[in-house]
Amino acid sequence: MTTTAEPRIGAHCHGGLKGAVKTARAIGAQAIQIFIGSPQSWKRSPPEAAVVDRFRAEVVEHDLGPVFVHGSYLINLAAQRPPILGKSVASLAWQLRAADRAGAAGLIFHPGSAGTASWDEALPKTVRAMEQVLEGYDGACRLLLETCAGQGATIGCRFEEMRDIMDALGRDERIGVCWDTQHLLASGYDVASRDGLEATVSAFDREVGLDWLCAIHANDSKVPLGARRDRHENIGEGHIGRAAFRRMLLHPALRPMPWILETPGFGGKGPDRESITLLHDLSRSPVA
Ligand SMILES: [Zn+2]
Ligand SMILES: [Zn+2]
């Protein structure tokens, strides 16, 4: 098998705009994912211009990137309670603009949960909220919907739901999709097996289109196929396994993606150098 250019392997790096470059360099991450502001708070905390400028300069200086920002965990674009919906729209809107100023390629977020509502009710609400977030926005940073693990009534655990959202938004090029390998397995897409991976890639291409895939969260899974829970594990220590990550890293549709680790880390302190090196090694080894 011929392998094209090496994939960019990165990680969620703690430290935000001020410290993430240091973290990335310490563990050998190329691509970087950060939070801007607290992921568990509604507090609006746009960063200072000097901090943003310094971050951008350091990313260039050390040949890092692409950069992604992970949105707040509180966001729910299908919230049934108006105050939560309004806060979610406002929060995602400022985070998208801050991520764009920081030079990020994408703001990755979890669309939310429909609660007791049906998909038919949740869809227009989610779409309307995304339209509001994108209103007047013409930045280069894309708003990326992350595939979810399927817990509760979360949105975006089926590719058909992603398709519905994207179709309703007229295939707006300001949006895109981020895969999370653990979430895919948990929501019933068998990325761990050879046939399952092919079926998953085909289903995504049919419903959404591979052109819309912009990044991959590379996480093994503490829980088995279809368990519908969000539980990340170190690569090779979960239900996905090393062989499956090797297949994914060598897959022509997935290889060119930025790969971002969000694992517990072999030392228990988050993605580490060993985790990054392992993905690099797997991306170079021939398919067994
Ligand atoms: Zn996420
Ligand atoms: Zn997760």
In whole angstroms, what is the distance from residue 126 CA to residue 112 CA? 9
3-state secondary structure of 58: helix
130-181 tens-digit pLDDT: 999 999 999 999 999 999 999 888 998 999 999 999 999 999 999 999 999 9
In whole angstroms, what is the distance from residue 222 CA to residue 161 CA? 25
CA–centroid distance, 150 to ligand 2, in Å, is: 10
Percent of the chain scored above 90 by pLDDT?
89
CA–centroid distance, 1 to ligand 1, in Å, is: 32
The pairing of strands 9-12 and 67-70 is unpaired
CA–centroid distance, 159 to ligand 2, in Å, is: 17
51-75 tens-digit pLDDT: 999 999 999 999 999 999 999 999 9
* Residue 165 identity (one-letter amino acid): I
Q: How confident is the model at residue 50 (pLDDT cuts 50, 70, 90)?
A: very high
249-259 tens-digit pLDDT: 999 999 999 99
CA–centroid distance, 60 to ligand 1, in Å, is: 25
CB 172 within 8 A of CB 136: no
CATH superfamily of 9-284: Divalent-metal-dependent TIM barrel enzymes (3.20.20.150)
Is residue 3 scored above 70 in pLDDT? no
Q: Give Cα 225 to chain centroid, integer Å.
A: 19
Q: Which residues contact 216 (CB under 8 A, 6 or more apart)?
A: 178, 179, 180, 181, 248, 254, 257, 258, 259, 260
CA–centroid distance, 126 to ligand 2, in Å, is: 20
pTM of whole model > 0.75?
Answer: yes
pLDDT at residue number 4:
64
Query: Average per-residue pLDDT in the chain?
Result: 95
As a whole number, mean pLDDT of residues 81-107 equals 96
Q: How confident is the model at residue 287 (pLDDT cuts 50, 70, 90)?
A: low
Is residue 2 scored above 70 in pLDDT? no
In whole angstroms, what is the distance from residue 237 CA to residue 260 CA? 17
Cα dihedral 40, 46, 48, 49 in deg (nearest 10)? 130
204-221 tens-digit pLDDT: 999 999 999 999 999 999
Smallest-distance ligand from the CA of 109: 1
Q: At 213, which helix (H) or strand (E)?
A: strand 213-218
259-279 tens-digit pLDDT: 999 999 999 999 999 999 999
